[in-house]
Amino acid sequence: MTTLRVILGDQLSTRLGVVAGADKARDVFLMAEVMAEASYVNHHVKKIAFLFSAMRHYAQALRAAGYQVRYVALEDEGNSQSLDGEILRAVEALAPERVVITEPGEWRLREGFEALRLALPVELDILPDTRFLCSHAEFNAWVGDRRELRMEHFYREMRRRHDVLMEADGKPAGGRWNFDADNRKPPKAGLTSPPRLSFKKDAITLEVLHLVRRRFPDGYGRLEPFHFAVTRRQALAELDHFIAHILPGFGDYQDAMVAGEPWLRHSLLAAYINAGLLYPLEVCRRAEAAWRDGAAPLNAAEGFIRQILGWREFVRGVYWRFMPGYLEQNALEAHEPLPGFYWSGETQMACVREALAHTYDHAYSHHIQRLMITGNFALLAGLAPKAVHEWYLAVYADAYEWVEAPNTLGMALHADGGVLASKPYAASGAYIRKMSNYCQGCAYDPTVAVGERACPFNALYWDFMARHRDRFSRNARMPFVYATWDRMGAERQAGLRDQAQQHLTAMREGRL
Ligand code: FAD
Ligand code: DLZ
Ligand code: SF4
């Protein structure tokens, strides 16, 4: 029986069911570069180039292994420029007896494939994405009748189920599940990013860069220099490098931010894991082995593993459980349009400028920049969640809706009303001052809340807390906030709220 086996741009893994059962003589793989996917948000040009190059290399590897591949390049004649269209065209051309696909990572595509089923003259099977370590059924079973979903509880179950960082007696390695308290060090003086690998561009990547430059001339972001790994072999080299040289410091400086240092001790692996070039469990096992071999401390290995085995799987579970409504949520009733500086990078706030510069240059900024700088600003200023979500989905090389939306709407903006995180990650300039050296180069002063040089994060923080008092004063994890606010007295409170309005006016007028 001839089967058409469809592989999407973020499914570049040979261990998926769609590959495992393939008959080299009869089956055909379909991969397609299409404008519908390349333009449904204003993707960073590096993200498009990374995926197209990785897709082309993956097709080449399949062919080298003896498989038949129908690869439709962006400018190929007849390209219908949509995934549905390309599946229909391939079915017409090849007359397979069935079509097999791995479930996509975004609700809109999943819906599209369900509809396509009805239009196709042959059966369409949607297989589970077995790269994930928690299936939809397992997540739903874990949710059960819990009223609150907390990542920490989920993570413990995942550690047990996959036997990661566990001792023989069923206790967690080192006697604790979580070493987060050790992982909040501010940057020490002179903290820099250790050197990273940079991969030589081969003919395929050069051709893709040329294509992207030509076809996306007004696309967001800097296309070159382009250093991404685009094959599994290169991604494994990046993993080796991280485990050997970077992981030992991962925990200590997980929350630190330093001007001019985009990577610090972060792994840069999300783009590769999400596209399928690395498997999440292999990455966790490598980190665990480094600890067991004495090459990395436990707080680093545990902190790193928690992000992948815990957060990554947890947000995916939340996404599928709460879609399609999840994207519509706006629990804090935030309606402010996204200010232009998110795209242009032009703002006087040094911390925001820095995070946006990394984003523009590398299609990357690390977690604390995403959460506590650009995310925190969006939260405090009341930016409309959907606009912020579309921005995050566009600008990072690792961004797909299943992982981006819960992080943005849930973790950063609290738009889901607390499904993902029990309290908002709101912080004033004092936090940024403590965890970074950004304030040294800023037009504003983090110690000032009202007046000409007042750091916008300060008054916006208090205004945010005052606006949402009804909701947050009942939160047991925010005990001191309202006590401090009340101690300020009416005059100071009015001054802060007026200052917040001035910042918002400056933001709307492009002066912030
Ligand atoms: P590291 O800091 O080295 O972390 C190790 C790995 O853990 C990452 O590679 C990633 O696979 C995983 N991880 C860490 N934190 C999270 C998390 N909160 N959720 C899921 N996985 C996590 N991550 C994405 O992969 N895609 C996104 O589109 C995305 N959007 C985000 C938007 C916002 C507003 C926020 C606050 C976070 C977002 N994250 C996203 C999570 C996290 O910021 C990135 O995974 C991380 O910055 C990627 O860099 P890294 O590979 O160097 O990660
Ligand atoms: C992100 C992306 C881009 C830019 N281009 C393509 C493409 O041309 N062909 C393709 O199959 N996939 C692409 N993707 C990835 C899809 O958008 C991805 O499968 C969905 O976002 C689901 O995660
Ligand atoms: Fe950011 Fe405020 Fe510090 Fe400037 S002073 S870098 S705006 S926290």
pLDDT 10s digits, 196-240: 999 999 999 999 999 999 999 999 999 999 999 999 999 999 999
pLDDT number for residue 254:
85
pLDDT bracket for residue 190 (50, 70, 90): confident
Nearest to 380 by CA among 353, 355, 341, 413: 413
Q: Does residue 265 have a pLDDT over 80?
A: yes
| 8 CA → ligand 2 middle, Å | 6
Name which residue sits closest to atom 14 of ligand 2, judged by CA: 9
Record: fold of 341-508:
DNA Cyclobutane Dipyrimidine Photolyase, subunit A; domain 3 (1.10.579)
pLDDT digits (tens, 9 = 90+) for 6-51: 999 999 999 999 999 899 999 999 999 999 999 999 999 999 999 9
ipTM for the complex shown: 0.99
pLDDT digits (tens, 9 = 90+) for 142-162: 999 998 899 999 999 999 999
Query: Could you tell me where in the chain the CATH 1.10.579.10 domains are found?
Result: 341-508
Task: Give the chain's length.
Answer: 512
pLDDT digits (tens, 9 = 90+) for 271-326: 999 999 999 999 999 999 999 999 999 999 999 999 999 999 999 999 999 999 99
| 387 CA → ligand 3 middle, Å | 23
* CATH among 3.40.190.10, 3.40.50.920, 1.25.40.80, 3.90.330.10 for 136-200+231-313: 1.25.40.80
How far apart CA 69 and CA 366 sit, in angstroms, is 36
215 and 74 Cβ atoms separated by less than 8 Å: yes
pLDDT number for residue 122:
96
> Angle 59-271-277 (CA atoms, 0-180°, nearest 5)?
40
Q: What is the pTM of this model?
A: 0.97
What are residue 477's DSSP bridge partners? none
| 79 CA → ligand 1 middle, Å | 33
Is the CATH code 3.40.50.620 the one for domain 3-127?
A: yes
How far apart CA 235 and CA 220 sit, in angstroms, is 25
pLDDT number for residue 289:
98
Cis peptide before 324 (omega within 30 of 0): yes
Binding-site residues, ligand 2, Cβ < 6 A: 8-10, 32-34, 37-38, 43, 48, 51, 83, 104-106, 109, 400
72 and 79 Cβ atoms separated by less than 8 Å: yes
pLDDT digits (tens, 9 = 90+) for 346-374: 999 999 999 999 999 999 999 999 999 99
pLDDT number for residue 188:
86
Q: Does residue 1 have a pLDDT over 80?
A: no
Q: How far apart are the first and last CA of the chain?
A: 63
pLDDT digits (tens, 9 = 90+) for 224-234: 999 999 999 99
Query: Could you tell me where in the chain the CATH 3.40.50.620 domains are found?
Result: 3-127
Q: Let me know if 69 is exposed, middle or buried by CB neighbors in 10 A (0-12, 13-18, 19+).
A: middle
Query: Could you tell me where in the chain the CATH 1.25.40.80 domains are found?
Result: 136-200+231-313
Q: Does residue 479 have a pLDDT over 80?
A: no
Percentage of the residues of the chain whose pLDDT score is greater than 90:
91
Q: Is 408 left (phi over 0), alpha (psi -120 to 50) or beta?
A: alpha
